[in-house]
Chains A and B, each alone.
Chain A
């Protein structure tokens, strides 16, 4: 995303006397970036929560705040350098040993996240980034009943659909698919247009001879070496729309950076011979109804085999997956062997409040790992989070080692994402 010329930064010390300065900066910047007053206030409140949290836990430390116009959203990023022993403060439910020996809990970060569309905590080198993202207000589509169209003449795939076509495609998806299969952006076509324009989302559509919309497929690159897609969405009867869209997607990404392609939201029209099944993930919706989401994938490159790390309790799970997928891996077991570990664990987090979904990735695994998992899950449960995931990259022995602690705390390995990270990634779900 090209944002360098649309961002404003300030550098300050974490101190409660500076809270008004931060509030003012966020308010002014977000207003200049055209955000509605009501939303600006939400950002200001969340920003206040974070800076006062930092003023308590990291008092006096240098903090850089960057407020960016992200096309369809405003992002406020708080970054600071933390010594490894201080990283615990970025956990959602952090505990600090107070002087008295009592432990003090902090929930400031979780509070801040409630009002946001996305809240991310991550470590980049020695810098911690706390990122608030609030999207602009866009018109929200309500589903309408439509009759499937009949197609005429040969299909064409449109590579860079113009805004009108993008909006039409969003409406068609919302009208013809159950909400859980609709990428949240499609409910707000204006946002989708901005996301496509900003290069955050790619979209292709299929049209017939008369320009009637026949189908759509969209994708994005969540990491350097993987791509995930939603669709194929098919709006008209007639054969081969799905196949054509998928082939086109594969041609577009086949010579690029990505090693693997995953489904974000796979519809029933997906042509199974183009993909490999990874199984299903269960999501709990707001109404407590559960949804089984099929996950599909394929590699875009030849796999040369390799070694992965695993905790002994998930070896069986992995062996079965690798054998089903015909993936050659040497599984090396890592188990806690009494080596000295850092005192505290640190997890990076991505929260999607509207879906009540939380995804953790370990950054530091310490002696308190099991406790730390329990504490953070409890905090999320209290906040009504229903879909809690942990991603473990099997490239790292220290990450793989926490498999045991996850099992102890009610997580189960659900899905293996081959080349989903540096190496294969196991998705654990809190059950």
Chain B
């Protein structure tokens, strides 16, 4: 299925990795993993192309079904996910942790945008870490969003 949301699960050491791909919207169903998660769980958003406010509603309902003892980690959060996380309370439940995410950067030399994969630990004092352009390898990339807003979720 190309449309809609796909959910795959796999194991990585002691962790259960849940990979989402496609759209998270009003038609998304988390039924296949509802009430099935426990222990250490990693949510991987690498393949998510869209999330809207209706999708978040579904997501929040799903999160409420997850056992309170489950340790949740968010991985590879796309820019759209981060934007939603900053806007909607409940997308990340208390105690859950974002491990890695994407941030928009721009190289003036190459006139090119880059989505750079960052770890939360790379962001210090709400400032975007300095990154060299992966293409020209010389220029420093410029952070291409509002830092104060984009890094809100790291608090």
Q: Do A and B come from one complex?
A: no
**Which residues of A pack against B, CB within 8 Å?**
none
